[in-house]
Amino acid sequence: MSYSLVVFDWDGTLMDSTHTIVAAIQASCRDLELPEPSASEASWVIGLSLDSALLRAVPKLTPALLPRFLERYRVHYLQRDPDIKLFDGALDMLDALAARNVKLAVATGKSRVGLNRVLAATGLAGRFEATRTADETFSKPHPAMLLQIMEELDTAPEHVAMVGDTSHDLQMANSAGVHGVGVAYGAHPPDELQACAPQVVVHRMAELQAWLLARV
């Protein structure tokens, strides 16, 4: 296999934001006196569009309550936002891939506003040749994000790797006919990633970088 395009999920894959998202969901539940999901229940929905994620993580949350919950979620998330960083080694990995003329892209459950904000904050706005967010097309695990990115960058599925920390990412990869690469340092446990039959599941950023560079 030889990859000319690598597509990354954002939260839990490039950015160490899993704990922040979980904490924001749980705090919002306390604000609205709703049953609080466990950390594993809250982290499972990461990568889905925000509305879908919240309704699934908090079964007692009704569509009528959703606007208030979203407001509280954004407050709690943004309070923690200055402390969220890229995973150690993520920038080096992106630089190493770019030096090999690999096209880089992002497919994320974040909103366009949210993704643009973190791309600007991390200085990565110019690093990716294409990006797709959950409010622009179908949410994961639907393959639309990947299909649109491949069309935009004129790349065949057999030359594409989709890197993500959730089964939603890997199911999307399978549906789009591209190679899935699981990272076990994010939201979903290794066995759930392995159940999606990815090419590999790695446990560290350095391992991810080495695996990809050997195949570009």
Where exactly are the structural domains of the chain? 5-16+85-213, 18-83
93 contacts: CB under 8 Å, gap ≥ 6:
205, 208, 209, 212
Average pLDDT for residues 9-36, to the nearest whole number?
Answer: 94
pLDDT tens for 149-200 read 999 999 999 999 999 999 999 999 999 999 999 999 988 999 999 999 999 9
Of 47 and 114, the one with more pLDDT: 114
165 tagged catalytic: no
Residues 20, 43 contacting (CB under 8 angstroms): no
Q: Which residue is listed with tokens 């939603």?
A: 168
Which one is catalytic: 11, 16, 165, 169? 11
CATH C-level class of 5-16+85-213:
alpha beta
Residues 180, 9 contacting (CB under 8 angstroms): no
Tell me if residue 182 falls in helix, strand or coil. strand
% of the chain exceeding 90 in pLDDT: 83
Q: CA 211, CA 215: separation in Å to the nearest integer?
A: 7
Average pLDDT for residues 54-67, to the nearest whole number?
Answer: 90
Which one is catalytic: 9, 16, 165, 169? 9
11 tagged catalytic: yes
pLDDT number for residue 161: 98
Q: Confidence class of residue 24 from pLDDT cuts 50, 70 and 90? A: very high
Residue 93 in tokens: 């990995």
